[in-house]
Amino acid sequence: MSEDFYTNLSHEERKIIVDKGTEAPFKGEYNEFFEAGLFICRACRSPLYESNTKFNAGCGWPSFDDEIEGAVVRKEDFSAGRIRTEICCSKCDGHLGHVFEGEQITEKNTRHCVNSLSIQFKSYKNLSKVYFGAGCFWSVEKLFKIQKGVYLSQVGYMGGDTDNPRYKDICTGDTNHVEVVEVYYDEKVISFTDLLNIFWENHNPTTPNQQGFDIGSQYRSVVFYTSENQKKIAEESILVQELNWKKTIVTEVIIAPIFYRAEEYHQNYLNKNNLGICGV
């Protein structure tokens, strides 16, 4: 370890990074944090994890299923009376946490269990964000996740009347929330118009509160925009799309309210369970 990297750490940060401590579960600032960006080492500022590898393991600490190549070193740890694998920053050797395998939570079957005090988040400034509701969010997410230029996609609930809804609440139809996919994308690689074309081509925008056999307000067609330019393009796109349908398009274009991330088992659901796209 190089003390130069630890000079400016707080007492609490040194307890974790230098003394290999563990912060209290469910208390760290990044436990329930799912934005698009980069997680770096709090001591030496080296990149460690892309945010698109982060997931909610329910363990109380930030969890990642992959690291940036060469960023993390693994060591045997006998401190808890059993063999564990400690993970440290490869540049400064600061303690991050532990890594576990074989838990069947993600496709990569790996969980880096990391202390929030060991890392810092740096958001990506080149990405735009939008939300689409187009029926069952499992299929909608899979469609957007595979697109070149989409950095991060995750499913959740928006536009309703209750705070922190859960899936069982959504299924009652009483919350007025929509099943949506949040899409972070790079405009230099894939345009908002490109995303809209995928949206139009993969659901029926003329059926209120219904996609195929899925019926309910949670399945309504909606674009939740985050910029005035997105709003303008979406509204113009509807006028063009009207020519392709015999019925009136009922898609809503609304400024994005609070996004409530869905339970972890819904994230990347079709890929995790080796399932194809649900047909409309």
Catalytic residues: 113, 136
Measured at the CA of 6, the angle between CA 4 and CA 8, to 5 degrees, comes to: 100
150-158 vs 54-55, strand pairing mode = unpaired
Give dist(CA 231, CA 236) in Å, integer: 9
| DSSP single-letter state for residue 235 | H
Q: Which two tokens stand for residue 102?
A: 């074989």
Give dist(CA 36, CA 34) in Å, integer: 7
CA 220 to chain centre: 22
Give dist(CA 52, CA 38) in Å, integer: 9
Comparing C-alpha atoms, which of 169, 173, 141 is closest to residue 155?
141
Identity at 214, one-letter amino acid code: D
| DSSP single-letter state for residue 213 | T
95-101 vs 127-133, strand pairing mode = unpaired
CA 247 to chain centre: 35
Q: Which two tokens stand for residue 151?
A: 């950095």
SS3 call for 132: strand
* Residues contacting residue 3 through CB under 8 Å, at least 6 positions apart: none
